[in-house]
Amino acid sequence: MRAGRQSFFAEHPIYLRSSYTIVGPKEGDGNFGDRFDTVLPDDLWGERSYEKAESKMHREAVRGAVCLAGCDADGIDVCLAGDLLNEISASGLAMRYFKSPFLGLYNACATFAEAVIVGSALIDCGMARTAACSSSSHFASAERQYRYPLELGNQRTPTSQWTVTGAGCSVLSSVRPTTEDDEECRTHFKEKMKAMRDECMRAASAEDSECGKGGGIENPFAKRGGDALERMKHKLLRTLRPASLIEPDCDLAYRRTHIVKITGGTLGKVTDFGIDDESNMGGAMAPAAADTLIAHLEDTGRTPGYYDAIVTGDLGRFGTEAFCYLLSKEGITLDNHFDCGAGFFKPEQKTFQGGSGAGCVNVVFNGHIAKRMERGELGRVLVIATGALLNKDTPLQKENIPGIAHAFTAESEPYV
């Protein structure tokens, strides 16, 4: 149901059926390191390039969330996914393994909120019963795409942020899960993952792979027509660096006492305040976040105090400062605000402004915020994911960097 200019409320209950997160090693050392389902010891994950690794992380996050939701390979009605690579290739390549329709989304680092909003809308209107909303980003692939080669010896400016290596997926559903479902899915997670891999991935790779037995896309080093050398390399990797080929995992003992519902959201406008420094994303995105928050409060008639937490995506430390400055000009002060990017890394990890990227707000929401809601620690949460809309060429063409921010609201209620 539409509310005001930019907002909507869900008319039917939309449940967060499951969530799954995979992050890289640096993220595992960060503040939320112990909240993620899988922490990779090596962010190449046995792949031949960081782009492939990102796609694999994306794929595995979706697979993990689908298995935790207790769905079969064809049980997801629609996959909504996006990432930061050119033409969202990490998502597109990951989605070839699933037998579900796929809608590709891009709103830079706000992609996750966009996916949740679109997924909620599709479920609310009855077009889908389950939707998998995912996004990913990878430090090494984003550096090459937006900045410089990894080995270039330049200095990062103090306003810069660190792209989070991570992928996460939330499965939204119109069906309310039960504690028995949860227990069933958790205990049989490993078998389910394996069954799904055999069903989707082996099948997909067997059809177009010429390397025959033992090959296929699951084999990290096998390419089309991969030869004995490639297979040998893979075998070598398995023995020398087994950590680089670890399987996605989950906490079998985890049980939730509350269930999270998506109750509505606010769609953001593109906001251009004339910031043109591509190393200062926080400054470029803060106006969009403030704009969306103000629109949300106006449309819904709520006050910031209505929420137990207002979570912004990846404004970073300076971006948070700018966000609060803009809000104070409007007479709004927040005492329940938390920025995923600013809180992501520890100060000694030297990331200057903190984390950013399409995976940042995703893994913090799925790994930390949703878990806290599921324990009943947080009741009502407003998540505002922020994105900076640029590519490598627009700053060279003297374009400004506009920002975008989408918000969704989540509420938790006890399992009865």
Partner 1 sequence: MTDKAEYRAFVKRNSPKSPMWRSLFAAFVVGGLICMAGEGVHDAISALFPALPDEDVGSWTTVVMIFVGAFLTAIGVYDKIGRVAGGGSIIPITGFANSVVSPALEYNREGVFFGICAKMFVIAGPIIVFGIVAGILVGVLGLIG
Partner 2 sequence: MSVFLTYLKVFAVGGGLCALGQLLINKTEMSSARILVTFMLLGLVLEVAGVFDAIKEFASSGVTVPITGFGSAIAKGALEGGREGGLLGAVSGGLKAAAPGVSAVILFGFLFALVFRSRSKKI
Residues of this chain that bind partner 1 (CB under 8 A): 48-49, 51, 144, 148-159, 273-275, 280, 283, 287, 290-291, 294, 318, 321-322, 325-326, 329-330, 352-353
| Cα 99 from Cα 26, distance rounded (Å) | 33
Does 397 bind partner 2 (CB under 8 A)? Our answer is no
Dihedral angle over CA of 25, 28, 30, 35, nearest 10: 160
Cβ nearer to partner 1, comparing 151 with 335: 151
Query: CA triplet 323, 324, 330: central angle to 5 degrees?
Result: 100
Is the distance from CB of 314 to CB of 340 less than 8 angstroms? yes
Q: Which two tokens stand for residue 61?
A: 């996050």
Is the distance from CB of 18 to CB of 62 less than 8 angstroms? no
Beta bridge partners of 388: 403
| Least distance CB 288 / partner 1 (angstroms) | 10
3-state secondary structure of 29: coil
Q: Alpha helices, DSSP H only, in 157-251? A: 179-187, 189-196, 203-208, 228-240
| Least distance CB 402 / partner 1 (angstroms) | 12
Cβ nearer to partner 2, comparing 139 with 189: 139
Does 236 bind partner 2 (CB under 8 A)? Our answer is no
| Least distance CB 115 / partner 1 (angstroms) | 27
Does 213 bind partner 2 (CB under 8 A)? Our answer is no
Residue 363 CB neighbour total at 10 angstroms: 33
Task: From the list partner 2, partner 1, none, pick the one residue 165 interacts with, judged by a Cβ distance below 5 to 8 Å according to partner type.
Answer: partner 2
Cβ nearer to partner 2, comparing 139 with 408: 139
Task: From the list partner 1, partner 2, none, pick the one residue 25 interacts with, judged by a Cβ distance below 5 to 8 Å according to partner type.
Answer: partner 2
| Cα 245 from Cα 42, distance rounded (Å) | 9
| Cα 263 from Cα 122, distance rounded (Å) | 13
Does 32 bind partner 2 (CB under 8 A)? Our answer is no
Span of 18-26, 186-194, 318-326, 398-406 interacting with partner 2 by CB under 8 A: 18-26
Select from 181, 184, 277, 298 the one that contacts partner 2 (CB under 8 A): 277
Task: From the list partner 2, partner 1, none, pick the one residue 349 interacts with, judged by a Cβ distance below 5 to 8 Å according to partner type.
Answer: partner 2
What's the burial of 383, exposed, middle or buried (CB within 10 Å: 0-12/13-18/19+)? buried
| Least distance CB 29 / partner 1 (angstroms) | 18
Select from 126, 151, 398, 414 the one that contacts partner 2 (CB under 8 A): 151
| Least distance CB 340 / partner 1 (angstroms) | 19
Name which of residues 303 to 362 contact partner 2 (CB under 8 A).
349-350
DSSP string, 82-115: EESSGGGHHHHHHHTTSSS-EEE--BTBTHHHHH
| Least distance CB 330 / partner 2 (angstroms) | 31
Does 50 bind partner 2 (CB under 8 A)? Our answer is yes
| Least distance CB 43 / partner 2 (angstroms) | 5
Site for partner 2 (CB under 8 A): how many residues?
21
Radius of gyration of the chain (CA): 21
Query: Residue 75's closest CA among 178, 207, 195, 254?
Result: 195
Q: Which two tokens stand for residue 39?
A: 């922490």
Task: From the list partner 2, partner 1, none, pick the one residue 26 interacts with, judged by a Cβ distance below 5 to 8 Å according to partner type.
Answer: partner 2
3-state secondary structure of 2: strand
| Least distance CB 359 / partner 1 (angstroms) | 21
Cβ nearer to partner 1, comparing 182 with 291: 291
Residues interacting with partner 2, by CB under 8 A?
24-26, 43-44, 50, 139-140, 149-155, 157, 165, 277, 279, 349-350
